[in-house]
Every structure is written in C-alpha cells, then in structure tokens.
Structure 1
Amino acid sequence: MASDQLAYAPARPEGDTVQEREDFRLPQQRIPAPAFAAMAGSGAAGLAPAPAKQPLPPAQPAPIALPDAGPGTRLTGVPTYDPTALAPAAAPSPAPTAVPEAPIAEPAEPVTAAVPTLPAPADPGAALCARLLGEVAAQREAAARAEREAAEKAAAAQAAREAAERRVREQAAAAKAAAEEKARAEAEAAARAEAERLERLAASYIKPVVSCTLGAGFGEADPWSNLHTGQDFAAPTGTPVHAVHGGTITSAGWAGAYGYRVVLTLDDGTELWYCHLSTMVATEGRVTTGDTVGRVGATGNVPAPHLHLEVRPAGAAPIDPLPWLRAHDVTV
C-alpha cells in the first residue's frame, strides 16, 4: 500500500510550494497488482476488513540540530545544502504506470463452523498421581474384599462348627432324654409291679416259715404240763420268719418264757405273736406280707429252735393258728 508519510522531512520555510515538497519526498512505494489482488482475496475469504484510512495530519517542520550552534539554537527555513546530494545521481525513472485498483469485496459473514472441543492436554504429574491413587484404591478394595471373604469363610466355618456341636448336643440330649424316659418307664413299670405284688400280698396270707416242720400244736400239753397256746414251726436257728399278712409292729422285745417276741397287729385288729426268736429284724413301723420280722431261735422256755406262732383276734385269747391260716388259703 502507498504511504503518504514522509521518510525524511526537513523543515520547510514559510511559503513553500508543491514543487518544493515534491523535492523532499522519497520515491513512493507501490505494491504490485497481483499481490494486492491476493490480499484482497484473502480478506474476502474471511479476514477482517482493513480499517478505513484516516487522513494524515499536516506535516510540521522538523527542527534540525546544528553541532556548531550554541545550546538552544535552532535553524528554520530553506536549507543551504543541495538535497540531491543525499543520493547518487540516477537515471530518470520512467513514468509510473497506473495500476487499476481491484474492487474490494465486501467482507462475507464469518462462517461459524462446529469445531470439536479437544480435551486439554493432561498434566503428566496429575495423570501419574491419578494412576497411583487408582492403584492404591484398587489394592485397598482387593484387600478389603479378601478380608471380607476370609471373614465370611471364618464365619461359615464357625457356623458349621456351632451347627455340628449343636447337633451333637441335641443328639446327646435326645439320647439322655430317651434313656431317662426309658428308665422312668422301667421304674414306673417296676413300681406298678411292686405295687401290684404288694397289693396281692396285702390281700394274701403266707406261711410264717417257708421251709419248716410242724411241731407241737395248739391245745397240747407241753413239757411243763401247760396247754400249748400256739403252733410250733421247727427250723434251724437263723431261718427267716416272715409276716403272714400286712400290718403294724406294735411290740418287740424280751417276753420271759416266750423269749424274744415280735407282735404284729393286722388291720382288722388281729395280733400275731412271733416267739422264741434269735433275732428281731422289724421292731416298729409298717410291714407287708412276706417282710422278714425276725429269725428262728431257741430263746425262752424251749427244748429246741423253733417258731412259736400265736393268733389272737382283737388281741384277746389265742385260737388255733392252723385253721386260721387255712381259712386264708395258706397251705400248711
């Protein structure tokens, strides 16, 4: 582009002419037409239009400092030197050829294209830190997962052990309960059997001495010329003597000519006297049929070991024991 700015502008005296100004103007720079057309095309393709050309302010005379002059001395007016001496003589320039100016196209509307937003380049340090933090988090998660799995396995094993122990305890408790139930049933059965036996015994009568020989009978004269008041059952000393029927022991001890005697009172009031005993086994309390009340002996006035049995209904005078026993289904 051509410029009106003076490359070198010495001060002009007042009243200078156009010719004089032309003498001080440097050759004007011109831009070839192809380059100008290319610049115009580029501006039309999307470059911002050039700002409008503003008029230049009027040129002011430039002061010239002279080394020989004193301080503050300035020279104005027409110089005394030849301006043509500033450059060597040159051949006259050919007349400038007018270059037609290319029309300036109006700036087109800027084309707004959708430009993809590229991610900002990641900071290598931040990326490394993020990767390390990710690895640490992954390691922690793996450790926590392994710990959870180990805890779950331990809990499962503990639960299995507890279940096994619980099953063992339940089986042991069931076996114990079954054993206790069996023992209780057996005890109840035994108790029922015993009760039935005792009931039968209580309802029955037995011989006072199982293995024995009948001796002197009721009403016979004894060696002391007295009537015999009972029935003798001869047996060795120490042979067990049983309760003929259930009742209560109302007397036990030494009875003179009867020796050691135990008195058994039945529920109907009948008294049974067991005499000449060597040992008294039951001396008080309740007895049932078949219980041992004493042992055969020879205490008192007797010639040999035997049991002297007397039967006294309601505690009165004695009666013959054999008919009484037979009346209660006892075989003698």
Structure 2
Amino acid sequence: MASNQSGSAVAEAIAPAMPPIASFDETTMMTWVPKQRPTVAAVVMDPADAAADPSHPGLAGPAFPDLPLTEPGFAEPGFPEAGVAGSVPARTPFAEPGFTEAAPAEPAFTDPGELLRLRIVNHVLQARAAVEREKAAVEAAGRAKEAAAQKVRDAAARKKAEEVARREAAELAAAEAASRAEEERLAALAASYVKPVVCCAVDGAGDFGAAGSPWAASNAGQDFAVPTGTPAVAVHSGTITAAGWAGSYGYRIVLTLDDGTQLWYCNLSSMVKTSGRVLTGDVIGRAGATGNASGPSLHLEVRPSGAAPVDPIGWLRDHGVTV
C-alpha cells in the first residue's frame, strides 16, 4: 500500500517537472496548443525495502525515451536551455508541433475580458481619429473653397473698381476738356465783336451826324433798318446797366462794356435782357419803331466812358466788324 502511494507521488512530481503548458494569446509570435500527454505509471518502493533488495529497481522507475533537444539560444523565457544536463527540452516555435502563427498586435493579456476591452477601446480610438481626420479634411476643403471664392470676388471687385475709376477718369477728363473749351469760347467771344443785328443794311438816311427829322439837331448814332422783331445782340461782352422807356429813344437798353464804353440799343419793340452780365452775341432785345423812329430799325449809339457819342460804324470797324 505504501509503495502504491509513493509511486503516485513520484508520478505527480514528474508531471510538473515539465515546462508549464499555457495557452498564449494571439499577440505573441506563436500559440502553444497543449498536447495530451500519456499517463506514465511508476512503481516506487520504500527506500528501506530498496536498500534491503538491491536487485529491485527502487527509485529508478521505468526508463523514458529521450526527448528531442533544441539548439542552444532558442529556449523560451522561464525554461532551461536545451542540451543542459537535467533540463527538459526547450519549446521551439519553428520545430515542435502544436504551434500556430498569430498576428502580433495587442499586449499579452491572459484575461479575455481585458483583451476584449482593449480591442474595443482601440477600435473606438481609431474610429474617432478617422472621424477627426475626415472632419479636418472637410474643413480644409471648405476653407480652400471659400478662399478660392473670396479670391474670385476680390478679383471681380478690383475689376469693377478699375472700370469705375477709368470711367470716372474719362468723365472727368471730358468735363475738364469741355470746361476748357467753354472757357476758350467765352474768351474768344470776350475778345471778339459782332454786328448788333444780323443781316442788316445800313440806312444811309440814318447815318451818324445826319441832320433833320426825326432828330432835333443831328443823328447821334447809327440806324440799322431791319424788320420789327429782328434780334438785337450784344456787340461785345458786358453788363446791362439800364433798361426801360427813354422818351424819344423809345425802349432802350444800355450795355456797358468792361472798358467803360456804353452801347445804347434804342427804338426796341421789346427787351429780352434788362440786367446782368451778357456775352458777345447774346440776344438782349428786338428791333422796332418806338420813340422818334422813321420806321422799324435799331438805333445804336456808342459812347466811350459814357461821354459824347462817336460814329458807330467806325467804332465797329476798329474792332474788326465788317458793316
């Protein structure tokens, strides 16, 4: 009875002497698949009996076949190196049966729940990172699109501003040119002299200095025989200093030039301008037969500095007017 118990104890002691058999998770290079080991019976007698009977195998037990040894340097952690006396064969992932390849990725955890949790966390982190990358890409694309659109708007605004500036510059240049032209025209008019009436014939009977009716002594001006209503124009630029009924002169307008010379427009049927500044050629009244007039005409007198009258024909010719 004692021998059987001792044999069982030896058998139990032999089995743990083998390297621990554990299932590696898939994060390691190889997975060890445990193999079913045969049960080996050992009969061990009491040491006292073995000493009394030297022929009895005693503690030697049955012979075991030699196990294959791996080359030195390939022993796994926790196992004695193969080929060393008293060692057990080292497990090699390249030769022994029972190893299968697995993809390395996650830390070596033996708790399946912890491994699953890590996988879930890793998946969530990867998904979150993918969402962030996609969000960043969308935002970058939006910014690029907005920048491109803003660039187009800026270019359109610049083009419109340039067009407006060119148009305004052209309008300003045209206005300045028109203003200069008008100034030149006015200057030319101011420097020029014209006939007091258009298409008129000089009435010889009404020449300057002529005596007789309708003058008390002699004619102080020049009569231009024209139909009633013929426009009477300013011979030169000046200012109207008097306008109204003047007795024997009828309706009269006094145009004072810048040099002080007074031009009297008499016998008018109507007055168009009665005050203010006028330019050469402006219509100031219309010929008629008011006052002491022998017929429809314009009676013109020229009085330098408002003094005694001079011959209107000679004065006009002195200023370049052909009559």
1:224 match: 214
Identify unmatched segments of 5+ residues in structure 2. Answer: 3-47, 63-83, 93-106
Moved over 4 A (4+): 108-111
Report the AA paired with residue 220 of structure 1. A
Larger radius of gyration: 1
Q: CA offset at residue 272 of structure 1?
A: 0.7
- Picking from 196, 199, 212, the partner of 1:208 is 196
1:198: Cα distance to partner?
A: 1.9
Alpha-carbon offset, residue 110 of structure 1: 9.6
Does residue 326 (structure 1) correspond to residue 317 (structure 2)? The answer is yes
- Using the TM superposition, give the Cα deviation of residue 301 of structure 1 relative to its aligned residue in structure 2, in angstroms: 3.4
Which amino acid is 1:219 matched to? G
Over residues 14-65 of structure 1, what are the superposed CA-to-partner deviations in whole Å (9 max), with x where a residue is unaligned?
xxxxxxxxxxxxxx533666444579xxxxxxxxxxxxxxxxxxxxxxxxxx
TM-fit CA distance, 1:303: 4.5
Residues in 2 aligned to 1:135 and 1:176: alpha-carbon distance in whole angstroms: 60
Structure 2: how far apart are the matches of 1:125 and 1:230? 133
| 1:293 aligned counterpart, secondary structure | strand
Q: Are the equivalent residues in 1 in contact too, given 2:214–2:292 (CA < 8 A)?
A: no
Is the counterpart of residue 129 in structure 1 residue 117 in structure 2? Answer: yes
Aligned to 2:245: 254
Question: 2 CA distance for matches of 1:139 and 1:303?
Answer: 118
Matches within 5 A, 1:1-332: 29-30=49-50, 34-36=57-59, 120-215=108-203, 216-221=206-211, 223-226=213-216, 227-332=218-323
Give the SS at the match of 1:208. Answer: coil
Is contact 2:214–2:293 with CA below 8 Å preserved after alignment?
no
Contact 2:190–2:280 (Cα < 8 Å) also in 1: yes
Deviation (angstroms), 1:329: 0.9
Query: What's the TM-score, normalizing by structure 2?
Result: 0.63
Q: Does structure 1 conserve the Cα–Cα contact (< 8 Å) formed by 2:272 and 2:285? A: yes
Cα RMSD for the two superposed structures: 3.5
Code of the residue aligned with 1:286 in structure 2: it is: R
CA distance 1:149–1:121, change in 2 (3 Å): closer
Distance 1:151 1:272, change over 3 A: same
Q: CA deviation at 1:313?
A: 0.9
Q: Which ranges of structure 1 fall in alignment gaps of 5 or more residues?
A: 3-27, 40-107
Provide, for residues 280-322 of structure 1, a one-character-per-residue CA deviation record: whole Å limited to 9, x for no partner: 3333333332233223334333354322111001101111100
Q: Give the CA deviation at 1:237.
A: 3.8
Contact preservation (8 Å) 2:236, 2:281: yes
**What letter corresponds to residue 210 of structure 2 in structure 1?**
E
Q: Distance between the aligned counterparts of 2:322 and 2:208, measured in 1?
A: 17
User: Following TM superposition, by how much is the alpha carbon of 1:273 offset from its aligned partner in structure 2, in angstroms?
Assistant: 0.9
